[in-house]
Amino acid sequence: MKVVIIGGVAGGATAAARLRRLDETAEIVVFERSGYVSYANCGLPYYIGGVIEDQADLTLQTPESFFARFQVDMRVRHEVTALHPDGKTVCVRNLETGEEFEEAYDKLLLSPGAKPAQPRLPGVGLEKLFTLRTVEDTLRIKDYIDAHRPRSAVLAGGGFISLELAENLRELGMEVTIVQRPKQLMTPFDPDMAAFMHGEVRRHGVRLALGRTVEGFAERDGGVDVLLKDTDSLHADMVVLAIGVAPDTALAKAAGLELGLKDSIAVNDRMETSVPDIYAVGDAVQVKHFVTGQDAVISLAGPANKQGRIAADNICGGDSRYQGSQGSSVIKVFGMTAAATGVNETAAKQAGLDADAVVLSPMSHAGYYPGGKLMTMKAVFEKGTFRLLGAQIVGYEGVDKRIDVLATAIRAGMTAVQLKDLDLAYAPPYSSAKDPVNMAGFMAENLAKGLVKQFRTEDVKDLPRDGSVTLLDVRTPREYAGGHIEGFRNIPVDELRERLGEIEPGKPAYVICQSGLRSYIACRILAGHGYEAYNFAGGFRFYDAVTGDRRLVEAATACGMDR
């Protein structure tokens, strides 16, 4: 059996190695357009910033090492220019010699990945305009920085690559501005959770131009003007386009393979395309979202590697199935860690799901053990069933391990309430006896049992201030004096029982504290005395961060830039 693989990075390299482990006699040929195979895409920004010092560390395997271990013919700088499914051949061009030839196959695996989105805008192609997707892109950026010592950069786009690159360019001492069409960074997160990332990048001197559309680029004064719609242009010494990626499927389209969302390659759960003996994996394929069941294109390394393994199994006569992607991800944002899995609340509602969420602010480990830091956690679930749909966490230590627990819970089909039953490891330096994941479950259980009702940030502005409801802040007077929501009166929770006479019976009470715990206790006290009480999800800390960020974003939208 002869297997030809197009693309030798995540999915293609994984498939090649798996094929060899399953079939010692198969002939395996990999064509990779770039000069590198099996390299660490996710490490590219950190090489630019000098965190990864040795270029060789970006490359997990070389063609020579891959052949030595797996006897796989890895041909770099070879571009496949056409597929001929009827004749089971591919046309190939050697990019170094210009030679063109045909290669026959018994099985063909497409792993072309994705390409940086290149909008048709004036000025695209300028010398000081960069993209970051391959090792070659990385070397071009790093060589430019080393040679010209630019002092400023504009990053167009607010996703993973842009945030990682912003951090690394700031570490090099550059002024950095991020331009993003949506009014938030990192759209896998809800806007309220993204607010904490906005605060972190601002604290490190990154300027944000959110809600702004790039209309083109122009050379001026030795740099580049980034032309923005309805506001002044931005000027920088260099610009990096990081506005997303698109499936690289021109070959598949030309060969008549069935396509899906965004011209991605349609595959079944065996990673088979619409054409017999042709498989496809990675960023170029359409998959099912594990949570919603809807078609999706999810460009992440983890799914690509799993799909490569599954395709290899099936090429060798097995019956492996891909169960769908849920988009689990984590990112370092300067000193902060942000992670997400499943769908966020915004996406859940767009998918037609009746979603709600609990928000909490637990410590990374036991509060009495030194060094604990707050994290903000949001667990999204379906109303009624309490099926766990997704989760987001922003914080410092312990974020990654909690998101992995929650990702596993989603994969296992658990409800938000069942999180309370998870038996998680505890020692004071690492966690609390009631782990944050358990706490999310306790909160969901309270909602499910009707022990508490909640109100959210978006509800606050519509609460009447005419005395028809009771608005109550149960923090200490000192906390209250440091900032509070207009119209909320202060009765500390520890004084509440003695001061119930100050709260008019028969009126609903809306209660807030710093994190949501004391206000929950206050709600239970009020309920025990016949009041209808609602607890604020997330507490004043959450409300203040989210509304403060919204004010900054709206003000920046009005003038074009964070000030």
For 262, phi and psi rounded to 5 degrees?
Answer: 55, 30
What distance in Å separates the CA atoms of residue 513 and residue 445, rounded to the nearest whole number? Answer: 20
- Report helix, strand or coil for 212: coil
Cα pseudo-dihedral 403, 409, 413, 419, rounded to 10: -110
Structure tokens at 145: 């920085």
**Under 8 Å CB-to-CB from 551, ≥6 apart: which residues?**
none
Strands 238-241 and 152-156: parallel
Strands 245-247 and 114-116: antiparallel
Known catalytic residues are 42
Long-range contacts made by residues 248-254, C-beta under 8 angstroms, separation at least 24? 248/112, 248/113, 248/114, 248/115, 248/283, 248/284, 249/112, 249/284, 251/6, 251/80, 251/81, 251/82, 251/83, 251/110, 251/112, 252/83, 252/110, 252/112, 252/280, 252/284, 254/82, 254/83
Closest of 207, 203, 210, 189 to residue 550, by C-alpha:
210
For 134, phi and psi rounded to 5 degrees?
Answer: -115, 170
Cβ–Cβ < 8 Å for 533, 511:
yes
Closest of 125, 124, 117 to residue 181, by C-alpha:
117
Structure tokens at 494: 């520890």
Show the 3-state SS of 119-139. CCCCCCCCCCEEECCCHHHHH
What distance in Å separates the CA atoms of residue 394 and residue 189, rounded to the nearest whole number? Answer: 10
Structure tokens at 463: 């609460």
Cβ–Cβ < 8 Å for 277, 92:
no
Rg, Å, the chain Cα set: 27
**Under 8 Å CB-to-CB from 561, ≥6 apart: which residues?**
177, 207, 208, 209, 234
- Report helix, strand or coil for 379: strand
Helix axes 10-22, 301-315, angle to 10 degrees: 30
